[in-house]
Amino acid sequence: MGLFEDVVINAKSAADVVGKKAEKFIDVSKLRINAADVNNEISKQFEALGRVVYDAKKTDNLSDELLDESVKTIDELYEQLDAINNQLSASSSKIICKKCGAENISDAAYCSKCGNKLHEEEEQQEGPKEE
């Protein structure tokens, strides 16, 4: 019965590993969906902001309060997107583009989907290079 018990133990271990991998995959998928939702909301907010500016220009009634509110909303959405992208980055060794949410290899300098510079923050933190 030793062989049968070993097979059962190995099967249970394999099932546990598969289950954990599936959970991680589901979590990453949920984060990607959330990132896409936030990106869509950002687009809607920009569209609404453009409509407000257009209408205000037509009526010569540009309200700084309304513009400030729209900008604040968009900034908050970008913060949410950054948080989601940070979670995605932490869950994989790939770099997540802060602009579009696409995965890129860790050595990439630019996003393969949108062309956004990927290592912008690191360069800013390092400061100017000495000659």
One pLDDT digit (tens) per residue for the chain, 131 residues = 578 787 778 777 777 777 777 777 788 889 899 999 999 999 999 999 999 889 888 998 887 888 899 999 999 999 999 999 888 877 766 788 888 888 887 778 899 999 999 875 544 444 454 44
**Residue 46: inside a domain, yes or no?**
yes
**Residue 101: inside a domain, yes or no?**
no
**Residue 110: inside a domain, yes or no?**
no
Q: Of 52, 84, 89, whose CA–CA distance to 71 is shortest?
A: 52
Give the count of domains, the chain. Answer: 1
**Residue 99: inside a domain, yes or no?**
no
CA dihedral 20, 24, 25, 31 (to 10 degrees): 160
Q: Show the domain range for 60.
A: 2-92
**Residue 69: inside a domain, yes or no?**
yes
